Amino acid sequence: MKKDIRSMDKDALRDFFVSRGDSAFRGNQVYQWLWQKGAHQFEDMTNLSKETRALLDEHFVINHIAVDQMQRSVDGTIKNAVRLHDGLIVESVLIPTKKRTTACVSSQVGCSLDCKFCATARLKKMRNLNADEIYDQVVAIDRESRLYQNMPLSNIVFMGMGEPLMNYNNVLKAIEKITSEEGLGMSPRRITVSTSGIPKMIRKMADEEVKFNLAVSLHSAIDEVRSSIMPFNETFPLSELRAALEYWYSKTKNRITYEYVVWKGVNDQQKDIDALVRFCKFSPAKVNLIEYNPIDGGDYQQASEEAIQNYIKTLEEHHITVTVRRSRGKDIDAACGQLANKS
């Protein structure tokens, strides 16, 4: 089988040419075609000789993604169904606002976690995405942003399908490409990785002093409640998550964002709010209250407006930043927790 050329770093490409009596510079040229100019085939690499292109064709493939279907919501949100080289599908979303456009990208096909309220959890995990498959989603959304919003992509959130920290190496490699001058040259400060909270990986990120933002899908700061909606919490209880986050903060001094949905009868009481405050007050924090997007056959219901207001009031009293994320793209199943390859 031919090798996916984009699994090779620049040095490996340079070595490939040197070992064949060509110059290392040829490797730089190919690298630029692959990552900066987004070439889909070797034929497109017009400053290479015919022989060089044939040589590449003989040894390698470019496993480029294809946007199979693009849906546009009445609110301007765009959802791409993205076909991978082996026929599997993931989804990514472009979320425009007046001042910026955000790409929401997937890191896995399906998901191995079992959050009861999330549509993606119903697809079993098929495989991890490669770094180039993650990168390609961003490039596709950047193009759509320029085309439909007249501005380049400004932010990226890893909040699509999958658990990014279960595919850590590829997510990190993709972010390196996105932020490098040879890729898109975006600032890591504009990138947010969202995790359901895997303590060991949060510590690893802290040790590696990554520069992007961290968001944690908390949804409850009471073990019993969290385990009932996110069963893997039994394996990684809140005490371990909290210790890992303290470690993250001690290393990065970066504010932590918590994603939080309030459901009727699940986490809408004062004791839930108080537990949240106790959990997150050790560092600068932002709580993002996400509107619940009902999923087919789900048992959950968005809490009352009063319960949400109670959350906002108490958090503000404790000087914790709170924002409410109104969902976008609901009519095309592009909102949080709705990515499930329906079409």
Residue numbers annotated as active site = 91, 336
CB of 236 to ligand SAH, least distance (A): 12
Q: For ligand SAH, which is the closer residue by CB, 96 or 160?
A: 160
For residue 21, is it left (φ>0), alpha (ψ between -120 and 50) or beta? left
Smallest gap from residue 234 Cβ to ligand SAH (A): 16
The SS3 call for residue 14 is helix
What are the distances in angstroms from CA 263 to CA 25, 270, 281, 306, 339?
58, 13, 22, 12, 20
Q: Is the dihedral of CA 40, 77, 180, 216 positive or negative?
A: negative
The minimum distance between CB 159 and ligand SAH, in angstroms, equals 4
Give the H or E element holding residue 66. strand 66-72
Q: Can you give the binding site for ligand SAH, defined by CB under 6 A?
A: 115, 117-118, 159, 163, 194-196, 217, 259, 261, 290, 292-293, 295, 336-337
CA angle, 230 then 231 then 235, to 5°:
115
Q: Cβ closer to ligand SAH: 238 or 261?
A: 261
Query: In this complex, which beta carbon is closest to ligand SAH, that of residue 145 or of residue 293?
Result: 293
Closest CB to ligand SAH among residues 65, 115: 115
> How many CA atoms within 13 Å lie on the side-chain side of 148?
22
Distance CA 52, CA 115 (A): 49
Contacts 24+ apart (CB under 8 A), 41-47: none
Shortest distance, CB of residue 195 to ligand SAH, whole angstroms?
5
Q: Please, which residue, 208 or 299, has the CB nearer to ligand SAH? A: 299
State the minimum distance, in angstroms, from the CB of residue 107 to ligand SAH.
8
> Rounded distance, CA 179 to CA 190, Å?
10
Report the C-alpha gap between 93 and 102 in whole angstroms: 8
